[in-house]
A = this chain, B = another copy of it.
Amino acid sequence: MNDASMKDVATRAGVSTATVSHVINNSCNVREETKDKVNRAIKELNYRVNPTARKLRNGHSKIIGFVVSNLAHYFYMELGNAIESVLNKNGYELFYINSNENPEKEKAQLEMCRLENFAGIIVVPVNNNWKDLEPIISNIPTVFIDRKPNSIDRDVVLTTNKQSGFDLTCKMIEKGAKNIAFIAPQHDDTMQLRVDGFKNAMKSNNLEYDPECIIFCNKRPKIYGELAEDNDWINILDYVINEKHVDCIISGNDLFAFGAISYFNKKDIEIQKDILFGTFDDTFWMNNLNTEIYSVAQNKKGMGEKAAKLLLDRLNNEDYEYDEYCIEASILTLNKE
Contacts and interface: CB of A to CB of B under 8 A. Distances in A.
Given A74-B74, A77-B71, A93-B112, A285 B224 contact: yes
Nearest to A48: B115
A72 interface: yes
The quantity of this chain's copies bound in the complex is 2
**Best-buried of A52, A225, A287 by chain B (most CB within 10 Å):** A52
Contacts of A1: 138
A51 B113 CA distance: 11
**On chain A, which size bracket covers the interface?**
35 or more
Given A56-B53, A223-B284, A265-B288, A109 B80 contact: no
A205 interface: no
A98 B98 contact: no
Nearest to A255: B284
A100 B258 CA distance: 26
A193 B335 CA distance: 36
A173 interface: no
Contacts of A3: 114-115
A96 interface: yes
A109 B50 CA distance: 14
A63 B114 CA distance: 14
Interface of A: 1, 3, 48-53, 55-56, 63, 71-72, 74, 77-78, 80-81, 84, 88, 93-98, 100, 105, 109, 111-112, 114-117, 138, 223-225, 228, 258, 261-262, 265, 284-285, 287-290, 335
Given A71-B96, A96-B96, A258-B284, 7 more contacts: A52-B55, A52-B56, A95-B95, A223-B284, A258-B288, A261-B288, A285-B285
14 contacts: A3-B115, A72-B77, A72-B81, A74-B74, A77-B77, A95-B96, A95-B97, A223-B284, A228-B287, A258-B284, A284-B285, A285-B285, A285-B288, A289-B289
